[in-house]
Structure 1
């Protein structure tokens, strides 16, 4: 009996419950699912299949999962790299304010294409993205054959877009894109964070979530010291208390960052069966406070909270590499604490099955097991850098890079083979991005060239910043900080 894909005589890192590793294994795929995983037998190379792959010198593992990201400004990679923190935040906020008003669609569209292309090339088969206008992202990733969770940002203290309009956009997006592209594209509900949303917005978000009970709620949570301050301004004891009050602290919650979480936060998150996305590189690059604690990932994992890895704003730290994110998670935790915070296999699981569980799809993807959807990548490990091939999980999280990915399979379809994308034209994508960046520079006054990036002057930046929302945000934080210091 023929199958769709047969991979034989290959190294297989299954990431199943036993973390089984086959030194010489065979993986069969049929009708979009993994049909069989086992030790190779003589004659497996002759199995009748539409696609036959000789796995000699290859490592087969689950596709990588980027649990938290933002994609619209992908063409501006390199633009923010050498700014100081305040310059970066001011410039970024000004651009996002204009995105909220509907500007720069050409940049957004090319950005989604570039992100999809680079994640495809790097073995990232699933992403979870929060953006301003994600329709182009859903379509681009869907047509590229990738898997994605998308949702439009909702906030009333970050920009000045009317709240009614934002919720209308969210409903329209959900109705059009949820469960589209053969179920590979799913919608999410995305209140921006716990410091730029009022209680009224959280309550409306809870109402929207009740309308769509199958959708994840994706937000930034406990990212900054100001998180709990704003929660108190919103009538909660802290951020988790506020979310619990409005009915959003449950198993649908995907919380990015979680940097300032304490022991009680961890216990409540575990009890609610909520999930966390850990994004180490962006804070290693843009850490606003050297004394702030690091995300307590070991304690979260010990409490059985599903923790996946996210690359966040990759254009802030100039890397599409999820392998690099795993390495950075280890290095940052070891520096902040002591060595030995993670085993290599723990990090592999955070890249794959734990990320899938964080997104509520651990029963569908994230490991190579019979019955699961076939999201699989093949790495070329017949290279000097992988010699000798001892401790494969350590090689994956310490040594592997996107350029090592040779073949990508999503939902049983080969979307990249021999390092050549089958569903995207790389040259055309690159050309559209170059044209978009040139147009953006002409329209905004940004200087973007091979020497770096320089934003417009402070006058132009201030002119483009949202006014009403941020002013309310700062006044609320100031008032609550005064109340905390001088209770009355």
Structure 2
């Protein structure tokens, strides 16, 4: 018997329907697929294969899935860490406005490279990214051998780019990149959120989605208290009613955050078979309202809603670690509620198979089972921090880190081995990112140095902010808030 890859005598955490864990297991991969998962036998080390991984002291598990993220500004990691909330939001809005107008392409391109490299190293084999100009992301992740969903953010109340231009670019992106790189890269339709889009834009989005019925619709939903306020200004009872009105509340919907959802929202989402991406770290870091409820993930999962984990804007909270995202999900929920909101295995499933189901590809990846695509990672658990190796799922979500990832396969191809990326030039990526940040600082007046970061002064930031769209957003919210308070 000859196969492409054999991993033998390893701990194997399958994340299948029974959550089977082999203490000494073998995984065989051929033709990009997992062909066999079983207990190891004598002689497995001698199976003829292009790649043979001795699993002694190793843990094999499905690749991690980042179900909601933004990647273009990755080189600015560390730049926002110590800003106040309003200062951070103002600076980000100004930067996104300029990105939307075609500036900073050099920063975005290196951002995708830096993100792909760090996610690859950290065992993240699939991302779902919403960005302003996603073309470079599709190409970078495709060439790196990774799996990704990419789409262009569309909004008429967040920046001033003409709506027709946004839709034209989104359609061109879909036509060129959907199902590219042997199907590893897929396009999505991305209305930005339910607080910066008018009803007309939602209707145009629904028309675009109808043209491409096999694409996911990826958005921010019920993220803020303003979400339902904007929906009412758009002539709907609430956000989910608006999406239902235009025909977008269905099994293609991937809704990031879902923080202010109530029991009725949960029931409607479950009935529609829509999915949710939970991003705990970004709100644990930048929570705008301490009294706001936490995303009701246990209730969503109990209702049958697929919930994956996303790292969101990782450069806002300085972490590429999806293992850390699982730990943060537990800690934040336990603090907001009480202890015991998740078992460790539930969090492992949210990192893998439930993330895959969230993106509509649970029949392809997310668990180690025969006939699934071979998206796998191998962790080195022969380390003091994993000793004694009891409760493996708890170690994965509480203790593991990107530095523990040793080997990564995507679609059966080995993209990292022995901790060394095979499909990307580490030094070249780092050099390009450093040059891009130096250029960005020179062009914008941002101060980025070893001791910290400081954006341009308030006057310069205000000058760079989009004007027409955000002013309409603020006025619409103000008028609707007044109507809610003083109905007539």
Distance 1:217 1:24 in 2: 41
1:237 CA drift (Å): 0.1
Which TM-score applies when normalising by structure 1?
A: 1.00
Q: Give the CA deviation at 1:171.
A: 0.3
- In 2, the alpha carbon distance for the partners of 1:352 and 1:162 equals 38
| Equivalence for 1:324 | 324
Aligned to 1:337: 337
Residue of structure 1 equivalent to 2:199: 199
Quote how far apart the aligned CAs of 1:415 are. 0.1
SS in 1 for 2:42: coil
Matched with 1:216 is 216
Residue equivalent to 1:38 = 38
Q: Secondary structure at the match of 2:203?
A: helix
What corresponds to 1:312 in structure 2? 312
* Cα distance, 1:346 vs structure 2: 0.1
DSSP 3-state at the match of 2:244: helix
Quote the residue 1:136 is aligned against. 136
Task: Give a deviation string over 1:363-391, Cα, whole Å, max 9, x none.
Answer: 00000000000000000000000000000
Q: Deviations over 1:394-450 (max 9, x none)?
A: 000000000000000000000000000000000000000000000000000000000
Which deviations, in whole Å up to 9, do the C-alpha atoms of 1:325-363 show, x marking residues without a partner?
Answer: 000000000000000000000000000000000000000
Number of residue pairs aligned between Structure 1 and Structure 2: 488
**Separation (CA, whole Å) in 1 of partners of 2:49 and 2:169:** 44
Residue 413 (str. 1) matches residue 434 (str. 2) = no
Aligned to 1:24: 24
Aligned partner of 1:348 in structure 2 is 348
SS in 2 for 1:128: strand
State the SS of the aligned residue for 1:187.
strand
CA distance in 2 between counterparts of 1:423 and 1:352 reads 23
The residue number in structure 1 matching 2:83 is 83
Structure 1 counterpart SS, 2:34: strand
Deviations 1:189-236 (A, max 9, x none): 000000000000000000000000000000000000000000000011
Corresponding residue for residue 190 of structure 1: 190
TM-score for both structures, normalised by structure 2: 1.00
* Separation in 2, partners of 1:110, 1:79: 16
The residue aligned with 1:294 is 294
RMSD over aligned Cα atoms: 0.3
Matched with 2:452 is 452
Q: State the partner residue of 1:427.
A: 427
Post-superposition Cα deviations, 1:129-180, rounded to whole Å, max 9, x if no partner, equal: 0000000000000000000000000000000000000000000000000000
User: Residues 1-50 of structure 1: CA distance to partner in whole angstroms, max 9, x if unpaired?
Assistant: 20000110000000000000000000000000000000001111111111
Give the SS at the match of 2:90. helix
Equivalent-residue separation in structure 2 for 1:50 and 1:84 (angstroms):
52
User: Where in structure 2 are the equivalents of 1:364-379 lying within 5 Å?
Assistant: 364-379=364-379
Tell me the distance in 1 between the aligned counterparts of 2:53 and 2:346: 29
- Residue of structure 2 equivalent to 1:11: 11
| 1:67 aligned counterpart, secondary structure | strand
Q: Where do 1:59-70 residues align within 5 Å?
A: 59-70=59-70
SS in structure 2 at match of 1:379: strand
1:476 matched to 2:479? The reply is no
Q: Distance in 2 between matches of 1:312 and 1:178?
A: 22
In the alignment, the residues of structure 1 paired with residue 255 and residue 447 of structure 2 have an alpha-carbon distance, to the nearest angstrom, of 35
Q: Say whether residues 1:164 and 2:155 are aligned partners.
A: no
Q: 1:80 is paired with a residue of what secondary structure?
A: coil
Distance 1:450 1:261 in 2: 41
* Partner secondary structure for residue 437 of structure 2: helix
Determine the C-alpha separation between the residues in 2 that align with 1:392 and 1:32. 27
* Distance (whole Å) between structure 2 residues aligned to residue 457 and residue 45 of structure 1: 62
In 1, the alpha carbon distance for the partners of 2:146 and 2:450 equals 31
3-state DSSP of counterpart to 1:414:
strand
Residue in structure 1 matched with residue 384 of structure 2 by the alignment: 384
Partner Cα distance (1:233, 1:80) in 2: 32
Distance 2:435 2:46 in 1: 48
Where do 5+ consecutive residues of structure 2 fail to align? Answer: none
| Separation in structure 2 between the aligned mates of residue 155 and residue 182 of structure 1, nearest angstrom | 30
Once the 2 structures are TM-superposed, how far is the Cα of residue 104 of structure 1 from its aligned partner? Answer: 0.4
Corresponding residue for residue 145 of structure 2? 145
